[in-house]
Structure formats: structure tokens, C-alpha cells
A = this chain, B = another copy of it.
Amino acid sequence: MIQLRLGCTFDYEQPVAVPALLQVAVRRDDGAVVRDEAWDLRPAAELTVLSDPYGNTPRRVALPPGEAHIGYDALVEVPDRPDPMDPGAVQHPIEELPAEALHFLLASRYCESDDLAPAAFELFGKTAPGWPRAQAISDWVHNSVRFEHGSSDQATSAMDVYQRRRGVCRDFAHLFVALCRAMNMPARYVFGYLPDLFVPPAPDPMDFCAWAEVYLGGRWWTFDPRNNQRRVGRVVVGRGRDAVDVPMVTTWGPARLQSLRVWADEAADGP
């Protein structure tokens, strides 16, 4: 196991109280084991744990008038192996997919798998079904889309990314998910922390990361079209059909984000 220290801080400013939803804490149903977890809200505020149809547990909080600082910090243990893989994982025929997976064949707000289906068949119709097809889609998204900060926004969908060929990790994940669904492979959007373990450190300050999971051979597998690598140390925060379901922070009102910091590093004092 590897021990990670991860978390984030947000600073907001608002003239009036603003209700908000936070989704930055580690999800409990995955490989990551939370050893310690703390919230730091200044001024103090109450966090209410909610739930959603996808097993996420967003926190509701009221940002008070003036300045608000939100901090989350956790000590987490993750497996010391890269994302598992199985190049022989098969693609299930529709009639054998479990209900839970079938749901993730549906088009969604940011993943227009319906509109992208003809393009998907042209691009991937001749690849071998199952793992090789999912990997071919990941390769193609990785190679065809240019990573560019600020090239997309909240409204950017998979179809937009297909047309413009640039975006951030969220956009890579959306396009990958939409193309997988178009090829009848259930795919879901994942959001979390991704430390730089066993890879050269990224030049940019750390941010949250988005990737995807595909249902093949009876289980869900991680694919990360942004990095297109099996990585060590992913920690899942939330999952859903697309980014609509996994808002890092949602505010209803005139709250202005002043600063954001994210970290995820190997803890100096391992277990």
C-alpha cells in the first residue's frame, strides 16, 4: 500500500449567504482506504451529507456572507499497483449486460453518444470489440484532442470536443465516454485525485482530474484518455453519467471563487 495525503482548499467571497454543494471527499467504496479525514471550514459551518443515485455523497453547506474558506484533507491508503488491466476483457452483448451497466449506455447532457454514433462507427467499427476497442478509443482521444487550459468551459460537451479537438481532462473523459457508449460499451465518468506517482511531475499546479470507467468482462475498468496510462494512486471522489453528476462545488448565488488549491502526494511517514 502507498499512503497519500490529499485534499483541497477553496476560498470564496459572497455578499450574502449562498447554499453550496461540495463533492471533494474520498468515496468509500473503492480501493482507497481513508485513515484520517478532516474538514476545515472558516467561519465554522455545518456540513450535511447527502446522497445521489450513483452512490456519491456530496456535502451541503451554506457559505456565509463575506469570506469563506473550505478545506478538506485526508490520509489515504491506496494499492501500490497501477490501474488493473486485462486486454482480453470481452465486450458483453447487450442482452447480457446487467441493469447497472445498461444505464451507462444512455446518452447524457455532456456525452451525446447518440449524435456521435455514426462518427464512432466510422472510427472504431473495425477495431476488435472489448478491451482493444476501448483502448483504441482512448488512444484516439488522447492523440486527437489537444490539452489546453481555458479552451473549454462548463458548457463544453463531448460533441464540442469532437468538433474543436481541444480541452482539459474533463473534456477528454466526456468524449471517451460518449464514444464508448456509441459503440455499446457502458461507460461512466469519474472524478478524483491523481497523484504524480512513478511519473514525471506535471508542470502545472495540481488540479482535480477526470477519467472514465468502462464495463467489460463483468466489471468496470479504469481508462484515462487524458494521460492514456495505467497509473498508481487514483482516488475516486465521485462517479456519474458525466460531469453534471459530479460537481466539485456548486453554488447557487453570487459566490466568487478566489482561490483553489489541490494536493495529492505520497505521505512522508508511510504506515
Contacts and interface: CB of A to CB of B under 8 A. Distances in A.
A164 to B, nearest CB: 7
Contacts of A99: 50-52, 58
8 contacts: A21-B102, A52-B99, A53-B54, A53-B103, A62-B95, A108-B244, A118-B163, A150-B150
B245 A106 contact: yes
Interface stretch (A75-83, A109-117, A204-212, A219-227): A109-117
Contact of A53 (B19, B53, B244): B53
A122 interface: yes
Interface residues of A, number: 41
Contact of A119 (B50, B109, B114, B119): B119
Given A150-B150, A245-B106, A19 B94 contact: yes
Interface of A: 19, 21, 50-54, 58, 60, 62, 93-95, 99, 102-103, 106-109, 112, 114-116, 118-119, 122-123, 144, 150, 154-155, 159, 162-165, 184, 244-245, 252
Contacts of A116: 163
